[in-house]
Structure 1
Amino acid sequence: MDQLYTATLSFTILLISIIWYTKALVKQGGKTAPLPPGPRGLPILGYLPFLGNNLLHQFTDLGHKYGSIFKLYLGNKLCVVITSPSLAKEVVRDQDVVFANRDITAAAFVASYGGNDIGWSPPNAQWRIMRKILVQEMMSNKSLEASYGLRRDEVRKVIGHVRTEVGKPIDIGGLSFRTEVNVMMNMLWGGTIEGEEGERIGEEFQVLVSKINDLFGKPNVSDFYPVLAGLDIQGVRKQMESHMHSLDKIFDAVITEHKKNLSAGQIKKQGKKDFLQILLEIQEKEDSDMSISEKHVRAILMDIVAGGTDTSATTVEWAMAELMKNPDAMAKAQKELSDVVGLNNIVEEYHMPKLKYLEAVFKETLRLHPAIPLLIPRSPAQSSTVGGYTIPTNSRVFINVWSIHRDPSIWDNPLEFKPERFLGENEKLDFRGNHFHYLPFGSGRRICAGLALAERMLIYLLASLLHSFDWKLPEGKTFDMLETFAILLRKSTPLLVIPNPRLPDSNLYV
């Protein structure tokens, strides 16, 4: 039976691929622009057998060979990779409407509640409502200033915890991840569930978010051969459904508690509300122009926790790693903190605008180590022309910002960690999607919706760690900067560093 099943599956894949390939040849027979150049690959499998472990380097090398736009087939999925600022601009700005769709993966479909979130849904009216709610109610300057106390409390807890671990190795990535998760939970639903139950939910939440993000980046046969998606050969969908079931239990608990408190009048009617309260109040207004369902509420919560935790923690870890590797940059960052904040004070968010060198460290870290180095793939809603080549409907379009950020024709000594490149006349070079040679958060209508919070939180956490402690590697440990890429660009080996107090007054660590 197993042999019969394998033979039937192989024949099905072959038949579908022949039909698809024939249609592609027919479409190219007209007078439309040709498809981009690219490696041939194999029948049925495409370029899949030739993909190595270092996809970013491989895509960059293929770009050098075939040009700044090239194609490759992964299974029967046509993928197009763009590695130049001018062509990236065509996609994310000039033809933003056409390329605003997502080529949603099997894992993302489950995690987004059927493509009903901000990250993966098509840019329809419902998507615009959800994004507007997020940006206005959680990411506006007014909302972020109102929630500063929550961020401050969590950062101070971290500094106090690290003080108790002086002389011991600290996992910077793990520390940053726990901090980001706690900040997100507090901003989303405040202290709705407290005490031991709150701690248990927080720990479970951290584990789930990490597992979910790992599944986002796992290669899946169902995505390369969509006709086989129903078989879920690798079990990716089943795993994601299991994780989402566990996550829904947490959402159930906090939503139920919120609704109970709302009906009892125990949650604020005015003043600062947590984000879940705002979402539930909007949901209750069914006749409103901003109407959303409970599915949309859960999807928005999922976007925030999945998109705002692992990515942020990874960036803080890379920043600290680069500073450890470059002692002169570390010394400059700490001197600036001493000058601006002082050694008899603690870092506050109002110090951030004056920390120009630290902001440059943050920008340079994102240049060398963008959290999502291929961005989330786009998919044209209709056949389009970019760089003189046709990109067919429903193909998957990658923008290789990792390669663009390391292009020697754009950046001087691109592999060198040099924060100074973002100072002086380049100080206004930001990451808001207007400079197409620097797109760590994307651009256009699909730019990261949480950019404002990420900017505040990441620099604030990094500043507090550098201001409060000196750091060194554990004795006998060697230093490496090896990368692991799935959908996120992680450090292959966790950064373990030993803290030593830098401030003279122990009360500053309380």
Structure 2
Amino acid sequence: MEPLLPWCLFMILIFVLLALVLFDLHCLRTPPCAPGTRLPPGPWRLPVIGTLHHLMTVKNPRLVHRALAVLARRWDAPVMYVRLGELHAVVVSSADAAREVIRENDTNFATRTMTATFRTTIGDKVGLVMSPHSAMWRRLRRICTTELLSARRVRSFRSIREDEAAHLARAIATVARSGERHQLVNVSELVSRFVSDTVLRTVMGERFTWRDEFMATLAKAMTRFAEDLFPSSRLLRAINGKVSEFKALNAKVFELVDRAIDQHRERKAGAGAEDDGANDARDLLDVLLRLQECDDDLDCPLTMVTIKAVILYNPKLMRKVQQEIRHVLGCKSRVTEDDLTNLKYRKHVIKETLRLHPGTCVLFPKASQESCKILGYDVPKGMLMIAHDHECLDDPKYWDDAEVFKPERFEGTTVDFRGTDFQFLPFSGGRRMCPGIMLAHANIELALVTLLCHFDWQLPPGVTPDEVDMAEKFGVDVRPKRDVYLSPVLVLPPKID
């Protein structure tokens, strides 16, 4: 039998290779391409894995949004065709291409695609984020924009934001008053707590008893979801246990949401009629329960930590922002949203931060409902479209010194992130534009001004601005890979209630 062993191994190898080739041919038939189809340019492909191996040739291949940007530049392809295992996709990474997608093909790309793992575990609980473009999606979107996240509704929660911002300032002031030199605070943790408490109080009208457990579970679920955005093999999904893990995470999230609703109802029942209030004073759960609708859209990317870290690269810019804030606010011991009106430079700082470090990485893939053209290239029906806004935000065609943090570039311009300037789409655009822009922006503005009004900020001893770790962590939202620690110096003591 020993002489036959090499032959057996050889035949097994041939069988495996044949199976891979047949599988690859099956993959190549999806989506079908008519004769004469002009697909966009892109990296050369291998059997089975397609272009996945090219991602491994770039620095930090796990940061898919950065890796795709490198490939788009390498192949000089503002519209790029890639095959990620069994998935065929077009990566859009220029303002001109984004303009054609949003203006001329918005409806065609209005349906987000779900991976098999996500579809299996989530069932019909898709909410607004993943709901296909349909009458139900339009209804949910209308509820979101007119009832939940309208300008009037966001303004109605102003007192919550101001209260949480003051609470944040007091927590940092306690550390700064300790008397120890270079006492460090975990800015990442404190700002994350500010955002989560502000959002949950906006939703529930009070702090959530199980907040820490909820946020930890949600963060893990979002990370796992991001890792599953581009699965390359049905076999891999079957053997790596993702489905069972997704089901457990999904069940835990909905269990905690049920607890939040129960806590909200118990408080309302205890408060009785005196807590009804005006319509504008209702928390978001009041509105949702009144409408008997449910929405799980959580598009509120955390960008405050990134703003702090980016500013500390530029001590002169931080002082410039602080001078404006302290000149306008004077000796006020508590920042309110009325104080934000005349602070123009901090608006430029926020815009510039969103340009260099947008809150989301690669936007949720969308499926082409019909064949169409983008910049003259054919996009067959059923092909995925991945909008890669990072390339637009770094494009030297629109941004001088694109790699430099320069808030002054927004002075005297009307360029904004509301979805009409295609070179600046940190929150996407069109029908699937993030509906939570106003709420997220309101949180960012007030927290930033509060932190810069009350404190000067210093790096840890021995750390220079060039040594600040700005490595990104891969996920649905973009955030620093490691927590940011800074030393606060109390300048203007916050009001103690």
Match of 1:249 in 2: 255
Decide whether aligned partners of structure 1 residues 340 and 48 sit closer, same or farther in structure 2, where only a CA change above 3 A counts.
Answer: same
Letter in 2 for 1:28: C
Letter in 1 for 2:217: L
Give the alignment of 1:376-455 within 5 angstroms.
Answer: 376-424=364-412, 426=413, 428-455=414-441
Is the Cα contact below 8 Å between 1:377 and 1:396 reproduced in 2? yes
Match of 2:131 in 1: 121
Question: Is 2:319 aligned against 1:331?
Answer: yes
Question: Is 2:376 aligned against 1:369?
Answer: no
Match of 1:20 in 2: 27
Residue 266 of structure 1: CA displacement? 2.4
TM-score with structure 1 length normalisation? Answer: 0.85
Letter in 2 for 1:275: L
The superposition leaves residues 221-262 of structure 1 with CA deviations (integer Å, 9 ceiling, x where unpaired) of: 7x333x558x53322232222222222222222323445666
Match of 1:39 in 2: 43
Match of 2:113 in 1: 103
Letter in 1 for 2:50: G
Match of 1:30 in 2: 35
2:487 match: secondary structure:
strand
Match of 2:242 in 1: 236
Match of 1:508 in 2: 495
Match of 2:442 in 1: 456
Is the Cα contact below 8 Å between 2:128 and 2:137 reproduced in 1? yes
Decide whether aligned partners of structure 1 residues 340 and 110 sit closer, same or farther in structure 2, where only a CA change above 3 A counts.
Answer: farther
Is the Cα contact below 8 Å between 1:384 and 1:392 reproduced in 2? yes
Pick which of 131-140 and 319-328 moved more: 131-140
Question: Is 2:334 aligned against 1:340?
Answer: no
Decide which of 287, 291, 304 is 1:316's aligned counterpart.
304
Match of 1:288 in 2: none
Pick which of 260-269 and 348-357 moved more: 260-269
Is the Cα contact below 8 Å between 2:55 and 2:68 reproduced in 1? no
Q: Which runs of 5+ in 1 are unaligned?
A: 284-291
Is the Cα contact below 8 Å between 1:108 and 1:115 reproduced in 2? no
Decide which of 61, 64, 67 is 1:58's aligned counterpart.
67
- Counterpart CA distance in 1 for 2:491 and 2:268 is 46
Match of 2:212 in 1: 203
- Counterpart CA distance in 2 for 1:483 and 1:445 is 28
The superposition leaves residues 262-295 of structure 1 with CA deviations (integer Å, 9 ceiling, x where unpaired) of: 6788264441221112211211xxxxxxxx4xxx
The superposition leaves residues 193-213 of structure 1 with CA deviations (integer Å, 9 ceiling, x where unpaired) of: x6xxx44x0111221122122
Decide which of 474, 477, 488 is 2:460's aligned counterpart.
474
Decide whether aligned partners of structure 1 residues 125 and 13 sit closer, same or farther in structure 2, where only a CA change above 3 A counts.
Answer: farther
The superposition leaves residues 419-441 of structure 1 with CA deviations (integer Å, 9 ceiling, x where unpaired) of: 000112x1x21100000011000
The superposition leaves residues 109-147 of structure 1 with CA deviations (integer Å, 9 ceiling, x where unpaired) of: 478653621111112111111122122222112211211
- Counterpart CA distance in 1 for 2:121 and 2:335 is 37
Decide which of 193, 216, 223 is 2:225's aligned counterpart.
216
Decide whether aligned partners of structure 1 residues 338 and 237 sit closer, same or farther in structure 2, where only a CA change above 3 A counts.
Answer: same
Is the Cα contact below 8 Å between 1:372 and 1:489 reproduced in 2? yes
- Cα RMSD, aligned residues only: 2.6
Decide whether aligned partners of structure 1 residues 341 and 262 sit closer, same or farther in structure 2, where only a CA change above 3 A counts.
Answer: closer
Decide which of 180, 190, 200 is 1:185's aligned counterpart.
200
Decide whether aligned partners of structure 1 residues 368 and 249 sit closer, same or farther in structure 2, where only a CA change above 3 A counts.
Answer: same
2:488 match: secondary structure:
strand
- Counterpart CA distance in 2 for 1:113 and 1:106 is 11
Pick which of 181-190 and 57-66 moved more: 57-66
Decide whether aligned partners of structure 1 residues 220 and 122 sit closer, same or farther in structure 2, where only a CA change above 3 A counts.
Answer: closer
Decide which of 141, 144, 158 is 2:151's aligned counterpart.
141
Percent of matched pairs sharing the same residue: 28
Residue 152 of structure 1: CA displacement? 1.3
Letter in 2 for 1:277: D
- Counterpart CA distance in 2 for 1:97 and 1:261 is 42
- Counterpart CA distance in 2 for 1:343 and 1:263 is 42
- Counterpart CA distance in 1 for 2:271 and 2:22 is 62
The superposition leaves residues 326-364 of structure 1 with CA deviations (integer Å, 9 ceiling, x where unpaired) of: 011101100010111113342211222211100100000
2:289 match: secondary structure:
helix
Is the Cα contact below 8 Å between 1:381 and 1:394 reproduced in 2? yes
TM-score with structure 2 length normalisation? Answer: 0.87
Decide whether aligned partners of structure 1 residues 12 and 162 sit closer, same or farther in structure 2, where only a CA change above 3 A counts.
Answer: farther
Is the Cα contact below 8 Å between 1:109 and 1:115 reproduced in 2? no
Letter in 2 for 1:363: K
Letter in 2 for 1:452: M
Decide which of 342, 362, 374 is 1:354's aligned counterpart.
342
Residue 220 of structure 1: CA displacement? 6.5
- Counterpart CA distance in 2 for 1:362 and 1:339 is 19
Decide which of 284, 297, 306 is 1:303's aligned counterpart.
297
- Counterpart CA distance in 2 for 1:442 and 1:482 is 23
Pick which of 118-127 and 55-64 moved more: 55-64
Decide whether aligned partners of structure 1 residues 262 and 339 sit closer, same or farther in structure 2, where only a CA change above 3 A counts.
Answer: closer
1:100 match: secondary structure:
coil
- Counterpart CA distance in 1 for 2:226 and 2:494 is 43
Q: Which runs of 5+ in 2 are unaligned?
A: 1-8, 177-181
Match of 1:171 in 2: 186
Decide which of 476, 483, 487 is 1:487's aligned counterpart.
476
- Counterpart CA distance in 1 for 2:410 and 2:494 is 35
Is the Cα contact below 8 Å between 1:159 and 1:509 reproduced in 2? no
